[in-house]
Structure 1
Amino acid sequence: MAIDGKGSITDNDIFIFPKNQSLTADDLRGFIHYQINTLCENYKENISMYKGHYPILDKKPKPLNKPDNRIVINFAKYIVDVFNGYLFGIPPQITYDGDDKVNEDLQNFNNTNSITDKLNEVAKQTSIYGRSYLFCYYDEHGQMKSAISSPQNSFIVYDNTIAQTPLYFIRYIVDDSNHLTISVYDGTQQTTYNDSYQIISQTDHMIGSVPAIEFIENEERQGVFESVKTIMNGINNAVSQKANDVEAIADAYLYLSGGSIKKDDLQSMADNRVIINPEADSKAEFLTRPNGDGTQENLLDRLEKRLFTIAMVANLDNIDSGASSTASGYSIELRMQSMRGLASNKERKFTNALREFYKLWFDARDTVDFTLENKVKKIKQFLSGTAKDDPINHLQFKFSRNLPRNIADEANTAKTLEGIVSKETQLGVLSNVPDPKAEIQKIEEEANQKINNAIKNNPADYDFTTPSKISGEEDGK
């Protein structure tokens, strides 16, 4: 669909711009207007629901002091938090295979940038909005840093080729006076505009490419509860109406027929909770409307069941692991089959995005480490045909599902795999071993320590460290 300027937007809400054409003020204005007036409206609704503000709270009050309960059951927050707790409750392991020095630098970068915490927040935003961004920049010390950028005030523009390569990362802020300040990042520069879309400044951002990566929940850029918003609203309406009915029963009118009762007598009956009417044909009863309690309960049961079925997120309240503790983890996994598929799809999307993110880091690392010695080394490798392949191919990502685990069963499985698979794969079976590579290193260190202790404490006090003594050439022999 075309928007103002030369840009357009796809059915999956991706901004597109013609390749090899310059972005003008009119083009930028078209993107910003569509973002604010269309996409952000849905973003605001989703984040409001996640925070517990549903449309039922905005309805007009009922007239004549009728019961008007506004009960909110925050299923949006439940779905988002349960789903991402299942996928990211155990931080993913990100390692580099083949070079310990590179892996050490990678872990230092992840730790100093709190990447696992940022990924958890990005995952939550993608489940709410359908997308989120990690933005890269250099701090005052020349170190590459990353920050989360919300889709409520940022977006990426891609080219119109089949590859859909990022062209611009656009981020804007609105001050207290409702004035816009817009920052546009291309492959080399940051250009800042005011709310009249006039250029204020231009600087090099030094990243080497568009300095932001888009993380998505799915190809349609829909949040995890997007397809069940009407069901959640229906449940809130039904529960609130049920509360209204209960309140209406408590406030029901008392109907008295036959004879007459004085006002003082009515007050006395109310105080003593006794009804007395001397007339022979008198009658007293409460006026109540028909009770639809059974119908309401059936409706609520069906809505709640369909809610979790369509959202494909498990309702943990309905999971019964059974009496056997040894089978509990497997039993729960079976009941979470649909959520496992949903999580696997999100894992693939995040893996692709993480590869693009770390490509920026590798490029920055090569730039910093591009000394004359490394230049000569790379030229020699290129001329000899031994140039290293893309380091991105050596990245390993391991996402672990956050489920109850039976350590005894895992230990038996690991023991069974002895001699069949590599040590790293064998240790990877154990959920209490977060980093198999580091664990192997610890095992080797412990083995070396035992050998050293044995040599140090040998009864004969034989010197194993001197070659001449070991070979028998001792004391001039």
Structure 2
Amino acid sequence: MTAVQGKGSVTDNDVFIYPKESELSADDLRGFVEYNGNTLGKHYKENIGMYKGHYPILDQDAKPMNKPDNRIVINFAKYITDIFNGFFIGIPPQITLDNESNNGNLQAFNNANSFVDKLSEVAKQTSIYGRSYMFLYQNEDSQTKVAISAPTNSFIIYDDTVAQEPLYFVRYTVDEDNKMSGTVYSATDAYSFDDSYKVVETLTQLFKAVPAIEFIENEERLGAFDSVKTIMNAINSALSQKANDVAAIADAYFFAKGAEISEDDFRGLADNRVLTTDSADADAKFLERPNGDGTQENLVNRLEDKLFLTAMVSNLNDLDSGAQSSASGYSIELRMQAMRGLASNKERKYTSAMRDLYRIVFNITDLAKPSVVKKVTNAIMGKQQPEPADELKFQFTRNLPKNVADEASTAKTLEGIVSKQTQLSVLSIVDNPTDEIDRMASEQKDAAQQAVDNNPANYDFQGVSDEKD
């Protein structure tokens, strides 16, 4: 636990803690903001820089005496982040409610907020920074909206109890004159503050909770490539040095012994690569540097293997090469088992965070209401009314090569064993099982109506009978 200015503190997992019964003062707020900007901010800046391709090798001092000075960067940070999140959330997760009306409202809310797209961006941010936030607000039309807030300029302060419930959400910005301003949100009110951390204006807080939820990559709040930074830097250094050696060989010194070489001779050497001398003792050659190509190559290959092993993210180029190119889908999944474990852990964190987010939304909107039948049934049975957020269903699908024929066979085998919704969820081509069930019912209804309309027994043969008479 690290103490910050005021009464606040920060845990080993970088969680901001504050006494539950205390009121956040300007001094306390300053301590948290400065810690987030000065201490955690260095980590955030380094990570986003690496994701964008800026590595420490680019900041090294230039080599003296015009020596070759290549600065090669292989952006493994971006590769690891994008490959892992493509695997984790490349296929949009399904978020549903059993109640048809409530589910329709839920999907409309998600579509209006481009929620899946925002969730994908949050997933990328947590892989870079270790954490990210979703912030709820209401626009001018009193519509509840969702925004993404990066940890570089926002954070949540939790209470000091075992539950660690959120007390405040803080967002701030720094303008071009290096003046800071921001807003603090609690469960009951909100206010803006200035560069001196004093209250400037009291704002309306419409939500009945702190209107932000923290999404984390893991409990330690480490990014996807935090554990392999030194390996990535070593690979860049080794490749750059290898390029320097190649350049040094191309610019090798020419050594002549016992021969007088004129300017024309040197010019002929440059143009024709040939030099002749009349002296019997003359010797001419290029000075050769020791060649460590094999050692360098082994080092780079070994570092790259350890990079993906330590990051626990599969190297797809390795899966596509050599004997692996003909590997079965199942064997490829086995090679991706470590990444599956990472994704499963991240999924559990995201499921919990999304449920908390929707709980806030449901409390201020009519997005999901228990049906009248369920209310009456629960009252008769003496059951406590369940929270709509507790009835949410989240289904994440790993983005792997799929054999639709095998999935269809599995789904057919499940006929009569599980519910229709569970049966359809096996199929990767079905985005929303509930909507698919509705479409199937509609098609069956249309087919039945068409059969009735085309049934000859329904034809009026009265005219034909009259002609015969």
Shorter chain as denominator, the TM-score bin is: over 0.9
CA displacement at 1:274 relative to structure 2:
1.1
CA deviations over 1:402-448 (Å, ceiling 9, x no partner) = 11111111111112222222222221111111111211221111111
1:402 to 399, 402, 413: 399
5 Å-filtered alignment, 1:91-240, equals 91-97=92-98, 99-240=99-240
Number of positions where the alignment pairs a residue of Structure 1 with one of Structure 2: 458
Q: Which moved more, 1:444-453 or 1:119-128?
A: 444-453
Identity fraction in percent: 60
Displacement over 6 Å in runs of 4+: 321-327, 367-370, 377-384
Q: Deviations over 1:365-401 (max 9, x none)?
A: 249989xxx99x9899769845521112210000001
Equivalent positions of 1:328-477 (< 5 A) are 328-366=328-366, 385=382, 388-461=385-458
Aligned: 1:11 with 2:12: yes
1:397 counterpart SS class: strand
Code of the residue aligned with 1:343 in structure 2: it is A
Tell me the alpha carbon deviations over residues 191-219 of structure 1, each in whole angstroms, 9 at most, x when there is no partner.
11110111100112201110000000000
In the other structure, the counterpart of 1:71 is: 72
Shift of residue 92, structure 1, vs aligned partner: 0.4
Distance 1:369 1:457, change over 3 A: closer
CA, structure 1 residues 458+333, in 2 after alignment: closer, same or farther (shift >3 Å)?
Answer: same
Cα distance in 1 for partners of 2:328, 2:214 equals 37
Deviation track 1:283-329 (CA, whole Å, cap 9, x = no partner) reads 11111221110110111011000000000000000004888999732
- Residues 101-142 of structure 1: CA distance to partner in whole angstroms, max 9, x if unpaired? 111110000000000000000000000000000000111111
Change (3 A) 1:139 1:341: same
Aligned residue type for 1:273: R
Distance 1:325 1:453 in 2: 49
State the match for 1:265 in structure 2.
265
Distance 1:72 1:216 in 2: 28
In structure 1, how many angstroms separate the alpha carbons of the residues matched to 2:321 and 2:443? 39
In 2, the alpha carbon distance for the partners of 1:30 and 1:327 equals: 55
User: Structure 2 CA distance, aligned partners of 1:366 and 1:266?
Assistant: 88
CA contact (8 A) 1:308 1:315 kept: yes
Name the residue aligned to 1:312.
Answer: 312
- Structure 2 residue identity aligned to 1:268: G
Partner Cα separation in structure 2 for residue 418 and residue 126 of structure 1:
39
**Please, what is the CA RMSD of the aligned residues?**
2.3
Corresponding letter in the other structure for 2:388: P
Tell me the TM-score normalised to structure 2 length: 0.93
- Does the 8 Å CA contact 2:14/2:221 hold for their aligned counterparts? yes
SS of alignment partner, residue 170 of structure 2: strand
Asked whether the equivalents of residues 265 and 275 of structure 2 are also in contact (C-alpha less than 8 Å), the reply is no
* Whole-angstrom CA distance in 1 between matches of 2:427 and 2:298: 44
Aligned to 1:468: none
Structure 1 contact 321–329 (Cα < 8 Å) conserved: no
Partner SS state of residue 399, structure 1: strand
**Matches of 1:398 and 1:378 in 2, distance apart?**
27
Instruction: Pick closer, same or farther for the CA change 1:67–1:401 going to 2, 3 Å.
Output: same
Offset at 1:100? Answer: 1.0
CA shift for structure 1 position 266: 2.1
